[in-house]
């Protein structure tokens, strides 16, 4: 069985603006009064570093210019005006525009905020009152107080952060459907990956929220999908969204079952609560090949566009360490490969990685991606 696992690098390689930076820049524009008479170039001139095809640029412009007639985009604008996480991330975005580093990792920043709060709560150094929150960074306390001038208990802060995270996720979902899935549906993606174009896949495990592979490559509609982090759907609401956006477990083992104030921000909890399932585990139980056949591995796992970050470590280790799986990991360039190796050490351990990349016991190979090709 051939299994393809894809991460956000897959969408980015297809020219889709699916980074968190792209999302922030687009929604930040919604609150600004921009002269539309000069067309899409004037509209998108603030997007430094965003590589946007001309057709996509025009499509985004058209979507934005018609936003007032779209209930979902109006809801996005409404949420954007009163949301801690969006304010906090946009402030970071403004800071990132000054140096050359233009990457924002939502999950890392969410972890930064909740760890500060958790440490302050556990050490009894969190002081709250009217227009006052002490014991955490001034930037975090400033945006919390902008959202609500007075908190009576830290539980109110946790509840606000959770509610605002759910609304942020909903905004991201609207963006991904309106600006990404619709872009693919309109036939505006002009490239394809030769690494997978001619490979027949039985299953696709997507760490993305978008349907890019499904819309571009699955012409026969005979592939089984598992959207482990949920799938963007325009019919979702804040309450029904199944999008997972959280952090890895960061507490030591002796505290994980006791300190639960921020458990709803963790990916494993969200996967359970939002019922994204574990279908991929059933795939590995498939015994389509007999043990005494000439086939050494029952399953071939291809990983494309994924950094192998530890936030997905539990899923990745389930797959990569399975005795019936051979894994091919594609890397974009040598720098990307370095990061993937480091991340994989964190996920499966140094000894396992050495053993599984050695010639005599090899179950993992790294392979450089081919350049994307233009569609006919």
Report the percent of the chain where pLDDT is more than 90. 68
pLDDT band of 255, cuts 50, 70, 90: very high
Over residues 143-164, the mean pLDDT reads: 96
Angle at 310 between CA 306 and CA 311, to 5 degrees: 85
Q: Quick one: CA dihedral 59, 60, 62, 66, positive or negative?
A: positive
In the three-class reduction of DSSP (H, G, I as helix; E, B as strand; rest coil), residue 51 is classed as: coil
Write down the pTM of the prediction: 0.87
| Cβ atoms 128, 155 nearer than 8 A | no
pLDDT band of 191, cuts 50, 70, 90: very high
| Cβ atoms 326, 299 nearer than 8 A | yes
Domain assignments of the chain as residue spans, ordered by start:
2-9+192-374
State yes or no: pLDDT of 102 exceeds 80. Answer: no
| Cβ atoms 86, 109 nearer than 8 A | no
Kind of pairing between the strands at 299-304 and 2-6 = parallel
Question: What proportions of the chain, in percent to the nearest 5, are helix, strand and coil?
Answer: 45, 10, 40
In the three-class reduction of DSSP (H, G, I as helix; E, B as strand; rest coil), residue 20 is classed as: helix
| Cβ atoms 11, 18 nearer than 8 A | yes
| Cβ atoms 175, 243 nearer than 8 A | no
From the centroid of its chain, how far is CA 313? 14
pLDDT band of 307, cuts 50, 70, 90: very high
State yes or no: pLDDT of 98 exceeds 60. Answer: no
User: In angstroms, rounded to a whole number, what is the distance separating the alpha carbons of residues 172 and 170?
Assistant: 5
Size of the chain in residues: 376
Tens of pLDDT, residue by residue over 256-295, are 999 999 999 999 999 999 999 889 999 988 655 444 444 5
Q: Is 83 exposed, middle or buried (0-12, 13-18, 19+ CB in 10 A)?
A: buried
Ramachandran angles phi, psi of 288, nearest 5°: -70, -20
Tens of pLDDT, residue by residue over 322-336, are 999 999 999 999 999
State residue 45's pLDDT score: 58
Q: Tell me how far CA of residue 236 lies from CA of 161, 170, 271, in angstroms.
A: 20, 8, 17
Question: Crossing angle of helices 20-29/54-65, nearest 10°?
Answer: 40
Tens of pLDDT, residue by residue over 38-71, are 555 555 555 545 555 555 556 666 666 666 578 8
Question: Crossing angle of helices 154-175/84-96, nearest 10°?
Answer: 70
User: In angstroms, rounded to a whole number, what is the distance separating the alpha carbons of residues 25 and 12?
Assistant: 16
Question: Integer distance in angstroms from the first to the last C-alpha of the chain?
Answer: 30
């Amino acid at each position: 069985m051939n299994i393809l696992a894809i991460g956000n690098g897959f969408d980015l390689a297809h020219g889709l603006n699916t980074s968190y930076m792209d999302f922030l820049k687009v929604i930040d524009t919604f609150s600004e009064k921009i002269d539309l008479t000069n067309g899409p170039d004037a509209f998108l001139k603030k997007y430094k570093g965003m590589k946007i095809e001309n057709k996509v640029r025009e499509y985004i412009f058209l979507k934005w210019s018609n936003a007032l007639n779209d209930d979902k985009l109006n809801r996005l604008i409404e949420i954007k005006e009163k949301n801690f996480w969006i304010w906090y991330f946009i402030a970071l975005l403004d800071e990132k525009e000054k140096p050359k580093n233009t990457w924002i990792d939502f999950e890392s920043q969410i972890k930064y905020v909740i760890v500060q709060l958790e440490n302050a709560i556990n050490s009894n150094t969190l002081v709250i009152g009217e227009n006052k929150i002490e014991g955490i960074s001034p930037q975090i306390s400033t945006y919390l107080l902008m959202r609500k001038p007075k908190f009576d208990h830290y539980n109110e802060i946790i509840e606000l952060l959770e509610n605002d995270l759910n609304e942020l996720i909903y905004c991201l979902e609207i963006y991904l459907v309106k600006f990404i899935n619709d872009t693919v549906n309109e036939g505006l993606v002009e490239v394809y990956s030769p690494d997978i174009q001619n490979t027949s896949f039985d299953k696709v495990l997507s760490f993305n929220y978008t349907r890019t592979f499904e819309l571009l490559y699955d012409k026969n509609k005979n592939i089984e999908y598992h959207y482990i982090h949920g799938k963007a759907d325009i019919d979702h609401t804040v309450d029904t969204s199944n999008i997972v956006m959280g952090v890895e477990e960061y507490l030591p083992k002796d505290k994980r079952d006791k300190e639960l104030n921020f458990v709803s921000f963790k990916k494993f909890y969200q996967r359970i609560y939002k019922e994204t399932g574990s279908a991929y585990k059933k795939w590995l139980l498939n015994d389509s090949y007999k043990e005494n056949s000439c086939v050494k591995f029952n399953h071939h796992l291809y990983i494309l566009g994924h950094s192998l970050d530890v936030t997905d470590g539990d899923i990745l280790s389930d797959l990569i360490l399975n005795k019936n799986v051979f894994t091919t990991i594609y890397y974009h360039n040598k720098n990307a490969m370095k990061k993937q190796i480091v991340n994989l050490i964190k996920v499966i351990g140094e000894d396992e990685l050495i053993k599984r990349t050695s010639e005599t016991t090899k179950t993992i190979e790294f392979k450089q991606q081919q350049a994307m090709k233009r569609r006919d």
